[in-house]
Protein backbone atom coordinates (compact mmCIF):
# COMPACT_ATOMS: atom_id res chain seq x y z
CA UNK A 1 0.00 0.00 0.00
CA UNK A 2 1.22 3.50 -0.75
CA UNK A 3 2.25 5.32 2.41
CA UNK A 4 -0.53 7.89 2.65
CA UNK A 5 -1.91 9.22 5.87
CA UNK A 6 -5.37 7.87 5.09
CA UNK A 7 -4.22 4.42 4.01
CA UNK A 8 -1.91 3.62 6.90
CA UNK A 9 -3.45 1.75 9.79
CA UNK A 10 -3.08 3.40 13.23
CA UNK A 11 0.09 2.36 14.98
CA UNK A 12 1.79 1.20 11.76
CA UNK A 13 3.44 4.51 10.97
CA UNK A 14 7.19 4.16 11.49
CA UNK A 15 8.91 6.37 14.04
CA UNK A 16 10.88 8.09 11.31
CA UNK A 17 9.77 8.43 7.71
CA UNK A 18 12.32 9.90 5.31
CA UNK A 19 10.72 11.00 2.05
CA UNK A 20 13.02 11.24 -0.97
CA UNK A 21 11.52 13.16 -3.89
CA UNK A 22 13.20 12.11 -7.14
CA UNK A 23 14.83 8.85 -8.18
CA UNK A 24 17.77 10.25 -10.14
CA UNK A 25 21.39 10.56 -9.08
CA UNK A 26 20.73 12.27 -5.75
CA UNK A 27 17.53 10.37 -4.96
CA UNK A 28 18.93 6.93 -5.70
CA UNK A 29 22.33 7.40 -4.06
CA UNK A 30 20.82 9.04 -0.97
CA UNK A 31 18.29 6.23 -0.53
CA UNK A 32 20.99 3.62 -1.17
CA UNK A 33 23.24 5.06 1.53
CA UNK A 34 20.31 5.41 3.95
CA UNK A 35 19.34 1.82 3.25
CA UNK A 36 22.84 0.69 4.21
CA UNK A 37 23.17 2.91 7.26
CA UNK A 38 19.67 2.38 8.65
CA UNK A 39 19.43 -1.27 7.59
CA UNK A 40 18.09 -2.91 10.73
CA UNK A 41 15.79 0.03 11.54
CA UNK A 42 14.27 -0.23 8.07
CA UNK A 43 13.81 -3.97 8.35
CA UNK A 44 12.23 -3.73 11.82
CA UNK A 45 9.79 -1.07 10.60
CA UNK A 46 11.16 1.49 13.02
CA UNK A 47 12.19 3.71 10.12
CA UNK A 48 11.05 3.97 6.52
CA UNK A 49 12.60 5.47 3.41
CA UNK A 50 9.98 6.35 0.77
CA UNK A 51 11.20 7.28 -2.73
CA UNK A 52 8.73 9.12 -4.96
CA UNK A 53 9.75 9.06 -8.61
CA UNK A 54 7.89 9.24 -11.94
CA UNK A 55 9.90 6.37 -13.42
CA UNK A 56 10.84 3.07 -11.74
CA UNK A 57 14.46 3.56 -12.79
CA UNK A 58 17.40 5.91 -12.40
CA UNK A 59 18.80 7.16 -15.71
CA UNK A 60 22.57 7.28 -16.10
CA UNK A 61 22.41 10.41 -18.26
CA UNK A 62 26.05 10.43 -19.45
CA UNK A 63 25.23 7.23 -21.39
CA UNK A 64 22.28 8.75 -23.27
CA UNK A 65 24.40 9.81 -26.29
CA UNK A 66 25.69 6.23 -26.63
CA UNK A 67 22.15 4.91 -26.32
CA UNK A 68 21.13 7.30 -29.12
CA UNK A 69 24.01 6.05 -31.26
CA UNK A 70 23.02 2.43 -30.64
CA UNK A 71 26.29 1.59 -28.84
CA UNK A 72 24.28 0.75 -25.71
CA UNK A 73 20.77 -0.60 -25.45
CA UNK A 74 18.31 1.60 -23.56
CA UNK A 75 17.74 -0.93 -20.76
CA UNK A 76 21.42 -0.82 -19.83
CA UNK A 77 21.56 2.93 -19.27
CA UNK A 78 18.92 2.77 -16.54
CA UNK A 79 19.05 1.20 -13.07
CA UNK A 80 15.89 -0.49 -11.72
CA UNK A 81 15.13 1.22 -8.40
CA UNK A 82 13.05 -1.60 -6.91
CA UNK A 83 15.93 -4.02 -7.29
CA UNK A 84 18.58 -1.66 -5.91
CA UNK A 85 16.48 -0.17 -3.11
CA UNK A 86 15.01 -3.42 -1.75
CA UNK A 87 14.36 -2.06 1.73
CA UNK A 88 12.85 1.26 0.62
CA UNK A 89 9.25 1.92 -0.40
CA UNK A 90 9.10 3.01 -4.04
CA UNK A 91 6.09 5.10 -5.08
CA UNK A 92 5.84 5.68 -8.82
CA UNK A 93 4.36 9.14 -9.02
CA UNK A 94 5.07 12.81 -9.02
CA UNK A 95 5.21 15.17 -6.07
CA UNK A 96 2.91 18.04 -6.98
CA UNK A 97 3.42 20.08 -3.81
CA UNK A 98 5.44 20.04 -0.63
CA UNK A 99 4.00 21.72 2.44
CA UNK A 100 6.99 21.62 4.72
CA UNK A 101 5.24 23.60 7.44
CA UNK A 102 2.85 20.62 7.72
CA UNK A 103 5.55 18.06 6.73
CA UNK A 104 3.36 16.69 3.95
CA UNK A 105 3.92 16.05 0.25
CA UNK A 106 1.05 15.79 -2.23
CA UNK A 107 1.75 13.03 -4.74
CA UNK A 108 -0.13 11.93 -7.86
CA UNK A 109 0.42 8.40 -9.12
CA UNK A 110 -0.69 6.44 -12.17
CA UNK A 111 -3.60 5.16 -10.09
CA UNK A 112 -4.85 8.46 -8.69
CA UNK A 113 -6.32 9.44 -12.06
CA UNK A 114 -8.10 6.08 -12.41
CA UNK A 115 -9.44 5.41 -8.94
CA UNK A 116 -10.69 8.97 -8.51
CA UNK A 117 -9.64 9.15 -4.88
CA UNK A 118 -7.37 12.13 -5.44
CA UNK A 119 -3.70 12.64 -4.79
CA UNK A 120 -1.85 10.93 -1.92
CA UNK A 121 -0.87 13.04 1.05
CA UNK A 122 2.39 11.58 2.32
CA UNK A 123 3.44 12.77 5.78
CA UNK A 124 7.14 12.70 6.57
CA UNK A 125 9.66 13.51 9.26
CA UNK A 126 12.62 14.30 7.01
CA UNK A 127 12.49 15.24 3.34
CA UNK A 128 15.15 15.07 0.63
CA UNK A 129 14.16 17.24 -2.32
CA UNK A 130 15.97 16.01 -5.43
CA UNK A 131 13.79 16.46 -8.53
CA UNK A 132 16.76 17.60 -10.67
CA UNK A 133 16.26 19.93 -13.60
CA UNK A 134 14.35 20.26 -16.85
CA UNK A 135 15.37 21.76 -20.20
CA UNK A 136 15.63 25.54 -20.04
CA UNK A 137 13.78 26.82 -23.07
CA UNK A 138 13.52 30.36 -24.42
CA UNK A 139 10.51 31.91 -26.13
CA UNK A 140 11.79 31.00 -29.60
CA UNK A 141 8.88 30.87 -32.09
CA UNK A 142 8.23 27.28 -33.21
CA UNK A 143 10.52 25.71 -30.60
CA UNK A 144 7.73 24.15 -28.56
CA UNK A 145 6.20 22.67 -31.73
CA UNK A 146 9.29 21.23 -33.40
CA UNK A 147 12.04 20.91 -30.79
CA UNK A 148 13.08 17.98 -28.64
CA UNK A 149 15.29 17.90 -25.54
CA UNK A 150 17.94 15.36 -24.66
CA UNK A 151 17.53 14.48 -20.99
CA UNK A 152 15.63 11.22 -20.94
CA UNK A 153 16.10 7.75 -22.35
CA UNK A 154 12.83 8.17 -24.27
CA UNK A 155 14.18 11.29 -25.98
CA UNK A 156 17.51 9.61 -26.80
CA UNK A 157 15.87 6.55 -28.38
CA UNK A 158 13.17 8.64 -30.06
CA UNK A 159 15.90 10.76 -31.61
CA UNK A 160 17.85 7.75 -32.83
CA UNK A 161 14.73 6.32 -34.51
CA UNK A 162 13.91 9.73 -35.92
CA UNK A 163 17.36 10.26 -37.47
CA UNK A 164 17.27 6.87 -39.19
CA UNK A 165 13.72 7.51 -40.31
CA UNK A 166 14.81 10.80 -41.87
CA UNK A 167 17.41 8.89 -43.87
CA UNK A 168 14.67 6.50 -45.04
CA UNK A 169 12.51 9.46 -46.08
CA UNK A 170 15.43 11.15 -47.86
CA UNK A 171 16.23 7.94 -49.65
CA UNK A 172 12.62 7.45 -50.83
CA UNK A 173 11.46 10.95 -51.71
CA UNK A 174 11.60 12.45 -55.20
CA UNK A 175 11.40 15.99 -53.89
CA UNK A 176 14.87 17.55 -53.35
CA UNK A 177 13.49 20.03 -50.79
CA UNK A 178 12.14 17.22 -48.61
CA UNK A 179 15.37 15.32 -48.98
CA UNK A 180 17.48 18.34 -47.92
CA UNK A 181 15.29 19.07 -44.90
CA UNK A 182 15.30 15.41 -43.86
CA UNK A 183 19.09 15.28 -43.99
CA UNK A 184 19.61 18.53 -42.04
CA UNK A 185 20.01 18.13 -38.27
CA UNK A 186 20.20 21.23 -36.05
CA UNK A 187 21.42 21.05 -32.44
CA UNK A 188 21.24 24.10 -30.17
CA UNK A 189 23.57 24.27 -27.16
CA UNK A 190 27.26 23.38 -26.94
CA UNK A 191 27.39 21.75 -23.47
CA UNK A 192 27.87 18.04 -22.69
CA UNK A 193 24.45 16.97 -23.81
CA UNK A 194 24.33 18.83 -27.15
CA UNK A 195 27.88 18.11 -28.28
CA UNK A 196 27.93 14.45 -27.26
CA UNK A 197 24.48 13.78 -28.70
CA UNK A 198 25.34 15.44 -32.01
CA UNK A 199 28.76 13.82 -32.26
CA UNK A 200 27.46 10.31 -31.51
CA UNK A 201 24.45 10.60 -33.83
CA UNK A 202 26.54 12.05 -36.66
CA UNK A 203 28.95 9.16 -36.28
CA UNK A 204 26.08 6.68 -36.32
CA UNK A 205 24.37 8.30 -39.33
CA UNK A 206 27.61 8.49 -41.33
CA UNK A 207 28.16 4.79 -40.71
CA UNK A 208 24.53 3.96 -41.52
CA UNK A 209 24.67 5.88 -44.83
CA UNK A 210 26.93 3.20 -46.30
CA UNK A 211 23.87 0.89 -46.36
CA UNK A 212 21.81 3.37 -48.45
CA UNK A 213 22.20 3.25 -52.22
CA UNK A 214 21.56 6.97 -52.61
CA UNK A 215 22.84 8.72 -49.46
CA UNK A 216 26.48 9.68 -49.08
CA UNK A 217 27.98 11.00 -45.83
CA UNK A 218 28.47 14.39 -47.52
CA UNK A 219 24.68 14.63 -48.08
CA UNK A 220 24.08 14.79 -44.32
CA UNK A 221 24.18 18.27 -42.84
CA UNK A 222 24.83 18.67 -39.11
CA UNK A 223 24.73 22.11 -37.51
CA UNK A 224 25.69 22.99 -33.93
CA UNK A 225 24.45 26.41 -32.79
CA UNK A 226 26.09 27.87 -29.66
CA UNK A 227 25.33 31.32 -28.25
CA UNK A 228 28.77 31.83 -26.65
CA UNK A 229 32.23 31.74 -28.22
CA UNK A 230 33.10 28.20 -27.05
CA UNK A 231 31.74 24.71 -26.59
CA UNK A 232 32.19 22.13 -23.81
CA UNK A 233 33.20 24.65 -21.10
CA UNK A 234 33.49 21.61 -18.76
CA UNK A 235 36.72 20.43 -20.44
CA UNK A 236 38.43 23.84 -20.46
CA UNK A 237 39.25 26.30 -23.23
CA UNK A 238 42.03 24.39 -25.02
CA UNK A 239 40.09 21.16 -25.21
CA UNK A 240 36.94 23.06 -26.17
CA UNK A 241 38.82 24.57 -29.14
CA UNK A 242 40.12 21.13 -30.07
CA UNK A 243 36.55 19.79 -29.99
CA UNK A 244 35.45 22.56 -32.41
CA UNK A 245 38.29 21.67 -34.79
CA UNK A 246 37.51 17.97 -34.54
CA UNK A 247 33.83 18.49 -35.30
CA UNK A 248 34.52 20.90 -38.17
CA UNK A 249 37.00 18.39 -39.57
CA UNK A 250 34.04 16.00 -39.84
CA UNK A 251 32.13 18.58 -41.85
CA UNK A 252 29.93 19.52 -38.90
CA UNK A 253 28.93 23.17 -39.17
CA UNK A 254 29.77 24.62 -35.71
CA UNK A 255 28.39 28.15 -35.36
CA UNK A 256 29.69 29.99 -32.30
CA UNK A 257 28.28 33.32 -31.03
CA UNK A 258 25.07 32.42 -32.85
CA UNK A 259 21.51 31.97 -31.60
CA UNK A 260 18.44 30.21 -32.89
CA UNK A 261 15.94 33.00 -33.65
CA UNK A 262 12.99 30.87 -34.71
CA UNK A 263 12.01 27.53 -36.18
CA UNK A 264 8.48 28.13 -37.41
CA UNK A 265 7.31 26.00 -40.31
CA UNK A 266 10.29 23.72 -39.68
CA UNK A 267 12.78 26.37 -40.88
CA UNK A 268 15.57 27.09 -38.41
CA UNK A 269 16.49 30.78 -38.63
CA UNK A 270 19.78 31.73 -36.96
CA UNK A 271 20.94 35.11 -35.67
CA UNK A 272 23.61 35.28 -38.43
CA UNK A 273 20.77 35.39 -40.95
CA UNK A 274 21.08 31.83 -42.24
CA UNK A 275 17.98 29.65 -42.70
CA UNK A 276 17.86 25.86 -42.70
CA UNK A 277 14.75 23.89 -43.56
CA UNK A 278 14.98 20.95 -41.17
CA UNK A 279 12.89 18.23 -39.54
CA UNK A 280 15.22 17.81 -36.60
CA UNK A 281 15.79 20.45 -33.96
CA UNK A 282 17.44 19.31 -30.73
CA UNK A 283 17.45 21.84 -27.91
CA UNK A 284 20.09 21.36 -25.21
CA UNK A 285 20.75 24.99 -24.30
CA UNK A 286 20.89 24.61 -20.55
CA UNK A 287 18.69 23.46 -17.70
CA UNK A 288 16.49 25.05 -15.07
CA UNK A 289 15.34 23.63 -11.73
CA UNK A 290 12.37 21.24 -11.78
CA UNK A 291 8.96 23.00 -11.69
CA UNK A 292 8.07 21.26 -8.39
CA UNK A 293 10.34 23.63 -6.47
CA UNK A 294 8.00 26.54 -7.10
CA UNK A 295 5.24 24.51 -5.42
CA UNK A 296 7.05 24.17 -2.10
CA UNK A 297 7.34 26.50 0.87
CA UNK A 298 11.13 26.07 0.88
CA UNK A 299 13.45 29.05 0.24
CA UNK A 300 14.58 29.47 -3.38
CA UNK A 301 17.37 31.50 -4.96
CA UNK A 302 16.73 33.98 -7.77
CA UNK A 303 17.45 31.21 -10.26
CA UNK A 304 14.85 28.98 -8.64
CA UNK A 305 17.16 26.45 -6.93
CA UNK A 306 16.60 25.51 -3.27
CA UNK A 307 18.86 27.55 -1.01
CA UNK A 308 21.02 25.10 0.94
CA UNK A 309 23.74 25.21 3.54
CA UNK A 310 27.09 23.53 2.94
CA UNK A 311 25.76 20.62 5.04
CA UNK A 312 23.03 20.17 2.38
CA UNK A 313 20.19 21.05 4.70
CA UNK A 314 17.70 23.59 3.38
CA UNK A 315 18.65 27.03 4.64
CA UNK A 316 16.41 28.04 7.53
CA UNK A 317 14.19 24.93 7.40
CA UNK A 318 14.63 22.04 9.82
CA UNK A 319 14.35 18.42 8.64
CA UNK A 320 14.61 19.38 4.95
CA UNK A 321 17.54 18.52 2.70
CA UNK A 322 18.40 19.02 -0.96
CA UNK A 323 21.24 18.41 -3.44
CA UNK A 324 22.01 18.03 -7.13
CA UNK A 325 20.67 20.13 -10.01
CA UNK A 326 17.74 21.37 -7.91
CA UNK A 327 19.88 22.76 -5.09
CA UNK A 328 22.03 25.84 -4.68
CA UNK A 329 24.93 24.56 -2.57
CA UNK A 330 27.85 26.82 -1.57
CA UNK A 331 31.05 25.68 -3.29
CA UNK A 332 33.54 25.62 -0.40
CA UNK A 333 36.38 24.64 -2.75
CA UNK A 334 36.07 27.92 -4.68
CA UNK A 335 38.06 30.97 -3.63
CA UNK A 336 35.30 33.24 -4.94
CA UNK A 337 32.62 33.80 -2.30
CA UNK A 338 29.05 33.16 -3.41
CA UNK A 339 29.97 30.42 -5.90
CA UNK A 340 27.51 27.50 -6.14
CA UNK A 341 28.41 23.93 -7.05
CA UNK A 342 27.73 23.26 -10.75
CA UNK A 343 24.76 21.12 -11.76
CA UNK A 344 26.56 17.95 -12.78
CA UNK A 345 26.72 14.27 -11.90
CA UNK A 346 30.06 14.50 -10.11
CA UNK A 347 28.58 16.80 -7.51
CA UNK A 348 25.20 15.04 -7.41
CA UNK A 349 26.71 11.65 -6.50
CA UNK A 350 29.06 13.01 -3.86
CA UNK A 351 26.48 15.33 -2.36
CA UNK A 352 24.04 12.43 -2.05
CA UNK A 353 26.49 10.48 0.10
CA UNK A 354 27.22 13.43 2.41
CA UNK A 355 23.51 14.24 2.59
CA UNK A 356 22.57 10.71 3.66
CA UNK A 357 25.34 10.64 6.26
CA UNK A 358 24.15 13.99 7.60
CA UNK A 359 20.59 12.70 7.99
CA UNK A 360 21.94 9.71 9.93
CA UNK A 361 24.03 12.06 12.08
CA UNK A 362 21.08 14.40 12.66
CA UNK A 363 18.81 11.49 13.67
CA UNK A 364 21.45 10.39 16.16
CA UNK A 365 21.79 13.93 17.51
CA UNK A 366 25.33 14.31 16.19
CA UNK A 367 26.67 17.39 14.35
CA UNK A 368 26.54 17.37 10.54
CA UNK A 369 29.50 17.81 8.19
CA UNK A 370 29.94 20.19 5.27
CA UNK A 371 30.16 19.15 1.64
CA UNK A 372 33.44 20.09 0.02
CA UNK A 373 34.67 18.75 -3.31
CA UNK A 374 36.93 20.18 -6.01
CA UNK A 375 35.76 19.31 -9.48
CA UNK A 376 38.18 16.72 -10.89
CA UNK A 377 37.60 17.70 -14.52
CA UNK A 378 35.54 16.18 -17.28
CA UNK A 379 35.54 13.70 -20.10
CA UNK A 380 33.39 13.87 -23.23
CA UNK A 381 32.89 11.51 -26.12
CA UNK A 382 32.84 12.90 -29.67
CA UNK A 383 31.73 9.65 -31.28
CA UNK A 384 33.28 6.21 -31.56
CA UNK A 385 37.04 6.34 -30.75
CA UNK A 386 36.99 10.14 -30.47
CA UNK A 387 36.87 12.31 -27.36
CA UNK A 388 38.29 15.09 -25.18
CA UNK A 389 39.22 15.00 -21.51
CA UNK A 390 40.61 17.38 -18.94
CA UNK A 391 41.08 15.54 -15.68
CA UNK A 392 43.26 16.57 -12.73
CA UNK A 393 45.04 19.08 -15.01
CA UNK A 394 45.83 16.46 -17.69
CA UNK A 395 44.52 17.09 -21.17
CA UNK A 396 43.79 14.22 -23.51
CA UNK A 397 42.23 14.08 -26.96
CA UNK A 398 41.25 11.55 -29.61
CA UNK A 399 41.37 7.84 -28.81
CA UNK A 400 43.00 8.08 -25.32
CA UNK A 401 40.34 10.58 -24.22
CA UNK A 402 37.56 8.38 -25.59
CA UNK A 403 39.02 5.37 -23.77
CA UNK A 404 39.23 7.38 -20.56
CA UNK A 405 35.60 8.44 -21.07
CA UNK A 406 34.55 4.80 -21.28
CA UNK A 407 36.68 3.61 -18.36
CA UNK A 408 35.50 6.49 -16.19
CA UNK A 409 31.82 5.95 -16.90
CA UNK A 410 32.10 2.18 -16.57
CA UNK A 411 33.54 2.72 -13.11
CA UNK A 412 30.71 5.15 -12.29
CA UNK A 413 27.60 3.47 -13.65
CA UNK A 414 25.78 2.07 -10.61
CA UNK A 415 25.65 -1.65 -9.75
CA UNK A 416 27.91 -4.50 -10.83
CA UNK A 417 25.05 -5.88 -12.93
CA UNK A 418 24.94 -2.75 -15.12
CA UNK A 419 28.74 -2.55 -15.37
CA UNK A 420 28.86 -6.15 -16.63
CA UNK A 421 26.08 -5.56 -19.18
CA UNK A 422 27.62 -2.34 -20.48
CA UNK A 423 31.04 -3.97 -20.82
CA UNK A 424 29.53 -6.96 -22.61
CA UNK A 425 27.72 -4.68 -25.04
CA UNK A 426 30.82 -2.64 -25.81
CA UNK A 427 32.79 -5.84 -26.36
CA UNK A 428 30.17 -7.25 -28.73
CA UNK A 429 29.95 -3.94 -30.58
CA UNK A 430 33.73 -4.08 -31.07
CA UNK A 431 33.44 -7.54 -32.63
CA UNK A 432 30.37 -7.02 -34.77
CA UNK A 433 28.95 -4.17 -36.78
CA UNK A 434 26.79 -1.36 -35.42
CA UNK A 435 23.03 -1.72 -35.21
CA UNK A 436 21.46 0.44 -37.92
CA UNK A 437 17.81 -0.38 -37.47
CA UNK A 438 15.09 2.08 -36.44
CA UNK A 439 12.38 0.54 -34.29
CA UNK A 440 10.08 3.52 -34.40
CA UNK A 441 7.03 1.25 -34.69
CA UNK A 442 7.59 0.24 -31.05
CA UNK A 443 6.08 3.61 -30.23
CA UNK A 444 2.75 2.50 -31.77
CA UNK A 445 2.39 -1.14 -30.76
CA UNK A 446 -1.38 -1.29 -31.49
CA UNK A 447 -1.25 0.15 -35.01
CA UNK A 448 -0.79 -3.17 -36.85
CA UNK A 449 -3.48 -4.98 -34.87
CA UNK A 450 -5.98 -2.12 -35.13
CA UNK A 451 -5.59 -2.12 -38.93
CA UNK A 452 -5.95 -5.91 -39.06
CA UNK A 453 -9.06 -5.73 -36.90
CA UNK A 454 -10.61 -3.38 -39.43
CA UNK A 455 -10.70 -0.42 -37.12
CA UNK A 456 -9.24 2.97 -37.57
CA UNK A 457 -5.52 2.64 -36.97
CA UNK A 458 -4.76 4.39 -33.70
CA UNK A 459 -1.74 5.99 -35.24
CA UNK A 460 0.02 8.98 -33.86
CA UNK A 461 1.32 11.38 -36.41
CA UNK A 462 4.23 9.91 -38.32
CA UNK A 463 7.32 10.69 -36.29
CA UNK A 464 8.75 12.63 -39.20
CA UNK A 465 5.84 15.04 -38.69
CA UNK A 466 6.37 15.70 -35.04
CA UNK A 467 9.14 16.40 -32.60
CA UNK A 468 11.08 13.15 -32.36
CA UNK A 469 10.29 11.19 -29.25
CA UNK A 470 6.91 12.83 -28.87
CA UNK A 471 4.23 10.36 -29.78
CA UNK A 472 0.61 11.22 -29.66
CA UNK A 473 -2.43 9.05 -29.67
CA UNK A 474 -4.32 11.38 -31.91
CA UNK A 475 -5.93 10.16 -35.09
CA UNK A 476 -4.07 11.59 -38.02
CA UNK A 477 -3.41 10.76 -41.61
CA UNK A 478 0.12 10.72 -42.92
CA UNK A 479 1.29 13.98 -44.44
CA UNK A 480 1.52 13.88 -48.23
CA UNK A 481 5.13 15.04 -47.98
CA UNK A 482 6.03 11.78 -46.34
CA UNK A 483 4.28 9.86 -49.00
CA UNK A 484 5.92 10.35 -52.39
CA UNK A 485 3.45 10.32 -55.28
CA UNK A 486 2.69 6.88 -56.56
CA UNK A 487 4.16 5.09 -53.57
CA UNK A 488 0.95 4.58 -51.61
CA UNK A 489 0.21 5.53 -48.05
CA UNK A 490 2.36 4.26 -45.25
CA UNK A 491 0.75 1.28 -43.48
CA UNK A 492 1.35 2.62 -40.08
CA UNK A 493 3.19 5.51 -38.64
CA UNK A 494 5.87 3.41 -37.01
C1 LIG B 1 22.78 13.91 -21.93
C2 LIG B 1 23.41 14.27 -20.62
C3 LIG B 1 24.75 13.95 -20.39
C4 LIG B 1 25.35 14.29 -19.18
N5 LIG B 1 26.67 13.97 -19.01
C6 LIG B 1 27.27 14.28 -17.84
C7 LIG B 1 28.63 13.94 -17.63
O8 LIG B 1 29.28 13.36 -18.52
N9 LIG B 1 29.20 14.27 -16.44
C10 LIG B 1 28.49 14.92 -15.45
O11 LIG B 1 29.06 15.20 -14.38
N12 LIG B 1 27.19 15.26 -15.62
C13 LIG B 1 26.57 14.96 -16.79
N14 LIG B 1 25.25 15.30 -16.97
C15 LIG B 1 24.52 16.00 -15.89
C16 LIG B 1 24.00 15.03 -14.82
O17 LIG B 1 23.34 13.94 -15.42
C18 LIG B 1 23.06 15.78 -13.86
O19 LIG B 1 23.77 16.84 -13.28
C20 LIG B 1 22.56 14.84 -12.75
O21 LIG B 1 21.68 13.89 -13.30
C22 LIG B 1 21.82 15.62 -11.65
O23 LIG B 1 21.31 14.72 -10.67
P24 LIG B 1 19.93 15.01 -9.93
O25 LIG B 1 19.68 13.86 -9.00
O26 LIG B 1 19.94 16.37 -9.36
O27 LIG B 1 18.84 15.01 -11.08
P28 LIG B 1 18.37 13.78 -11.99
O29 LIG B 1 19.41 12.75 -12.09
O30 LIG B 1 17.86 14.40 -13.25
O31 LIG B 1 17.16 13.17 -11.16
C32 LIG B 1 15.97 13.87 -10.89
C33 LIG B 1 14.84 12.85 -10.72
O34 LIG B 1 13.72 13.49 -10.12
C35 LIG B 1 12.56 13.10 -10.82
N36 LIG B 1 11.52 14.12 -10.64
C37 LIG B 1 11.38 15.29 -11.28
N38 LIG B 1 10.28 15.95 -10.82
C39 LIG B 1 9.74 15.17 -9.86
C40 LIG B 1 8.58 15.28 -9.02
N41 LIG B 1 7.78 16.34 -9.10
N42 LIG B 1 8.31 14.28 -8.17
C43 LIG B 1 9.12 13.18 -8.10
N44 LIG B 1 10.22 13.03 -8.86
C45 LIG B 1 10.52 14.01 -9.73
C46 LIG B 1 13.03 12.95 -12.26
O47 LIG B 1 12.14 12.18 -13.02
C48 LIG B 1 14.37 12.28 -12.04
O49 LIG B 1 14.19 10.89 -11.90
C50 LIG B 1 24.61 14.97 -18.17
C51 LIG B 1 23.27 15.29 -18.39
C52 LIG B 1 22.67 14.94 -19.60
C53 LIG B 1 21.22 15.30 -19.82
Quickly state the pLDDT bin for 490 (edges 50, 70, 90). Answer: very low
* Architecture of the CATH domain 143-285+415-431: 3-Layer(bba) Sandwich (3.50)
- Rounded distance from Cα 55 to ligand 1 centre (Å): 12
- CA–centroid distance, 25 to ligand 1, in Å, is 6
pLDDT in tens, 77-127: 999 999 999 999 999 999 999 999 999 999 999 888 777 778 999 999 999
Contacts of 85 (CB under 8 A, 6+ apart): 28, 31, 32, 35, 49, 51
**Ligand 1 within 6 A of 387 CB?**
no
What residue's CA is closest to ligand 1, atom 8?
A: 62
Q: What's phi and psi for 462, nearest 5 deg? A: -55, 145
Q: Answer whether residue 483 shows pLDDT above 60.
A: no
Which parts of 333-437 are beta strand (E)? 377-381, 387-391, 394-397
Specify the pLDDT at position 264: 94
Nearest 5°: the CA angle 278, 239, 344 is: 75
SS3 category, 24: coil
Cα of 324 from ligand 1 centre, angstroms: 8
Query: Does the beta carbon of 132 sit less than 6 angstroms from any atom of ligand 1?
Result: yes
Q: What is the mean pLDDT of residues 387-391?
A: 89
Does residue 435 have a pLDDT over 50? yes
Mutate to test the pocket of ligand 1, among 90, 291, 345, 374 (most ligand atoms within 8 A of CB): 345
Are 237 and 230 contacting, i.e. CB atoms less than 8 angstroms apart?
Answer: yes
Query: How many whole angstroms separate alpha carbon 269 and alpha carbon 278?
Result: 10
Q: CB of 355 within 8 A of CB of 312?
A: yes
220-272 confidence digits (pLDDT tens): 999 999 999 999 988 888 889 999 999 999 999 999 999 999 999 999 999 99
Q: Are strands 260-262 and 267-270 parallel, antiparallel or unpaired?
A: antiparallel
pLDDT band for position 453 (50/70/90)?
Answer: confident
- Atom 53 in ligand 1: which residue has the minimum CA distance? 151
Q: Ligand 1 mean position to 136 CA, how many Å?
A: 13
Instruction: Assess whether the C-beta atom of 151 lies below 6 angstroms from ligand 1.
Output: yes
Tell me the pLDDT tens digit for each residue of 62-71. 999 999 998 8
pLDDT tens profile 152-169: 999 999 999 999 999 999
Radius of gyration of the chain, Cα coordinates, nearest whole angstrom = 24
What separation, in Å, do the N-terminal and C-terminal C-alpha atoms of the chain show?
A: 38
In percent, how much of the chain has pLDDT > 70?
88
Residue 61 CA to ligand 1 centre (angstroms): 7
Q: Ligand 1 center to residue 293 CA distance, Å?
A: 15
Q: What torsion do the CA atoms of 77, 78, 84, 88 make, to the nearest 10 degrees?
A: 160
CB 143 within 8 A of CB 135: no
Alpha carbon distance 264, 224 (integer Å): 18
* Reported confidence tier of residue 440, pLDDT bands at 50, 70, 90: low
Average pLDDT, the chain: 87
Sequence spans of domains, the chain = 16-133+288-363, 143-285+415-431
Strands 57-59 and 78-80: antiparallel
pLDDT band at 15 (very low <50, low <70, confident <90, very high): confident
Does any ligand 1 atom lie closer than 6 A to the CB of residue 130?
yes
Residue 487 burial by Cβ neighbours in a 10 Å radius (0-12, 13-18, 19+): exposed
Cα of 284 from ligand 1 centre, angstroms: 14
CB 74 near ligand 1, within 6 Å: no
Instruction: Give the H/E segment covering residue 28.
Output: helix 25-37
Residues 82/77/224/173 CA torsion (nearest 10 deg): -100
Given a cut of 70, whether residue 458 has pLDDT beyond it is no
What is residue 101's predicted lDDT score, i.e. its pLDDT?
97
| Residues sharing a CB contact under 8 Å with residue 484, sequence separation 6 or more, in sequence order | 172, 173, 174, 175
CATH tag, 16-133+288-363: 3.50.50.60
Residue closest by Cα to atom 5 of ligand 1: 62
199 CA distance to ligand 1 middle (Å): 21
User: What pLDDT is stored for residue 12 in this prediction?
Assistant: 60
Amino acid sequence: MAPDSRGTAPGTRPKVRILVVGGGYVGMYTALRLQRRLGHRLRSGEAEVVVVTPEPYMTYQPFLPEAAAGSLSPRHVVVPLRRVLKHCTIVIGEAERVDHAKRTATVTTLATGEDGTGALEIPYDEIVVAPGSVSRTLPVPGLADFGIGFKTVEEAIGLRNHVIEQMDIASATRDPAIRDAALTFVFVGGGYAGVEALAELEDMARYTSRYYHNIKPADLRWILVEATGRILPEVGETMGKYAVRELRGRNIDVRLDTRLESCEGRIAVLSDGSRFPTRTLVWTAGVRPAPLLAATDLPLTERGRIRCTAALSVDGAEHAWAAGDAASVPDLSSSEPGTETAPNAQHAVRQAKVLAENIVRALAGRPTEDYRYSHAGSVASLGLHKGVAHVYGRKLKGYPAWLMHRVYHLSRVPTFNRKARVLAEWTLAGLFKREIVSLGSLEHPRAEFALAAGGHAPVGRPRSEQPPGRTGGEEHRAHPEDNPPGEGPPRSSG
